[in-house]
Amino acid sequence: MSPIQFSTHGLPPREQIEAWRGWFDSVFDVVPGAVDDGFTAQSTTWTLDGFALSRVAAPSLQATRTKALIRRNPIDHWAVTLGQRTTTGLGGNGETLNVPARTPFVVSLGRGLVSQRSQDERLQLYLPRDTFGELAPMLDAVQGQALNTPLGKLLGDYLVLLEQSLAGLTPADLPRLTNAVRAMMLACVAPSTDHAVAAANQIDISRRERARQIIGRHLRHPSMGTDTLCRELGMSRSQVYRLLQNDGGVMHYIQRRRLLQAYADLSDLSNTRSITAIAESLCFPDASSFTRAFRQEFGVSPRDVRAVSLTGQALLPVPRHPPGSEIETLRDCLRQF
């Protein structure tokens, strides 16, 4: 999918803020925090099947949707926003906005709004009422509130994964994408047994992405294991086991991530550490067990990878996924709809 992009980066500094205001004309009034050094900002928007996703990177600003703007442009889409910084201001019913970083929140463009934040990069999911009418009671009920719950945070992870997956989607995928987003919103904003079942694949793929990120942060920590994963995911051991059962289990998945990192380290010409040192840094007990696991995973030895990388070539890892683990991307997930 090709997005629509708008940027002020190529404009003279004195023209940047007016250009940015023009981009948001009739949707928001934009007041910058400071324009002494210009206002370099960028918007990337994907228009999809009945909804849109946008990534905005901009300096500090205040965005206001006034009654005059609502009369001038009476769209009443919901905007589900995930920012990297705290958002403050006023919601549509006079609620005070005080949303922590990396926490999604919902506002309605059919109501007045004041949103203020420092320099930030944020994702915004725009859901028209005509397309997502069945969500109206649930989204209106949480409008202006931080979705600071486990399922709310999972929704934030899903928005990130959704953006990462758009490049690989085709027009034929879009109707299923709309159904997937609808199911995920219902499951996270209005949780129930039926909604959770409908969004089971989206929930699992989002949780697996969170697990991947957690393991990546702790990859070189010997204590990385099931307990750490349970604690940071907020899931029980049985839930974590079920989540990663198609990957061969928790410890197998962690070991595979470590082996992939070892492959990258061995292929890096600037990394002059010995094979033994690389193995130890990734928590393998000794060089021989590391070599056995590496050869089993990739079909070559660590010494082979290092030797080939020194010639300027690259060996590609041979993926060895356990049966049933073919759902790796959002597009894979959409095939379930």
Domain that holds residue 274: 199-337
What is the pLDDT, as a whole number, of residue 333?
A: 35
Domain boundary residue, one of 190, 215, 233? 190
Tell me, yes or no, whether 163 and 111 share the same domain.
Answer: yes
- Are residues 163 and 252 part of one domain? no
13, 37 contact by CB (below 8 A) = yes
Instruction: Supply the pLDDT for residue 283.
Output: 92
- Residues 175 and 220 both lie in one domain: no
C-alpha–C-alpha distance, residues 118 and 331, integer Å: 34
The answer to whether the pTM exceeds 0.85 is: no
Single residue among 143, 159, 190 that ends a domain in this structure: 190
User: Residue 254 is part of a domain; what is its CATH number?
Assistant: 1.10.10.60
| Average pLDDT for runs of 10 along the chain of length 337 | 88 92 90 85 91 94 90 85 93 80 91 92 92 84 87 90 88 87 85 57 72 88 91 88 85 90 86 91 92 89 86 55 42 38
> Total domain count for the chain?
2
pLDDT value, residue 337: 32
Claim to verify: residue 92 and residue 109 sit in the same structural domain: yes
CATH of the domain at 118: 2.60.120.10
